Amino acid sequence: MPKTLAIFGAGPVLGLSLARRFGREGFRVALVARTRENLEKLVTELAGDGIEAAGFTADVYDREQIAATVAAITKAYGQIDAVEFSPGGGNMGEGIESVLDVDPENLQLILDRFLLSGVALVRAVLPAMTQRGDGAILFTAGQSGIHPTPFLGNAGMAQAALRNYFHNLNNVLADNGVYVGAVNVGALIEGSVPHRAIASASSPLEFEPEVIHPDVFAEKFWELYSKRDKPEALVGSFGR
């Protein structure tokens, strides 16, 4: 039976590259996002590559919907062998404030988005993985969790907490056959909403940001998953 990768926050850039990379290894892919039309396009595109995929409509920030979607994917495919959480997408920059503008309200917004939703997903998939002694939980994380960046004030706080969480999870679960890790995004992902916004901006930036193709990130995810010798990787050096 083929293995199943579930991508929570699947989109036409990184999500598609991830699906293709794991699909080449024989995985079938469950794509989770809010918009049915976008999911159908991804499923059709992957089918053209010979990759089995199905779309599941859900808000990946809603904890109840996360749990329900995990149950639906498990019912459809029997089990989830690997899950990847990519919060953000088109609204990635919405609500992010510089360090001097962080307040309890905007911090809570970002914690809900980047941290608490991820914790909810872990809680939903982990029992089955630990029971069978195999599985992988992957996160798309940000370089501000490693390198404090003032203009990413509240985002950096959430990313640092997420980094602490996945490191500790990996340490505790490694002997149980469950791997937990993250690829930290340290550059603009080519074709993403932030990249397109900067490319079309009328005023040039003070520096030239690094732009990296999503396939590079997808390859790093596969490397982490297959080797399981470290809990994270940083791709790019944005803001450094």
Tell me the C-alpha distance between 138 and 220, whole Å: 11
The answer as to whether 60 is a domain residue is: yes
Residues of the chain whose pLDDT is less than 70? 89-93, 195-207, 238-240
What is the predicted pLDDT for the residue at 222? 98
The answer as to whether 240 is a domain residue is: no
The answer as to whether 231 is a domain residue is: yes
> Where would I find the beta strands (DSSP E) of 167-217?
178-185, 188-189, 211-212
Say how many domains are in the chain: 1
Neighbours of 237 (CB within 10 A): 11
The answer as to whether 126 is a domain residue is: yes
What is the predicted pLDDT for the residue at 206? 59
The answer as to whether 73 is a domain residue is: yes
The answer as to whether 153 is a domain residue is: yes
What is the predicted pLDDT for the residue at 194? 73
The answer as to whether 186 is a domain residue is: yes
Task: Output the 3-class SS for 141-176.
Answer: EEHHHCCCCHHHHHHHHHHHHHHHHHHHHHHHHHHH
What is the predicted pLDDT for the residue at 60? 94
Tell me the C-alpha distance between 226 and 220, whole Å: 10
Residue 126 dihedral angles phi and psi, to the nearest 5°: -65, -40
> Where would I find the beta strands (DSSP E) of the chain?
4-8, 28-33, 53-57, 82-85, 135-142, 178-185, 188-189, 211-212, 232-235
Q: How far is CA 36 from CA 24, 76, 84, 88, in A?
A: 24, 17, 19, 17
Residue 89 is part of which domain span?
Answer: 4-235
CATH number of the domain where residue 15 is located:
3.40.50.720
The answer as to whether 44 is a domain residue is: yes
Output the six-digit token pair for 75.
Answer: 């019912």
What is the tens place of the pLDDT at every residue in 48-85?
Answer: 999 999 999 999 999 999 999 999 999 999 999 999 99
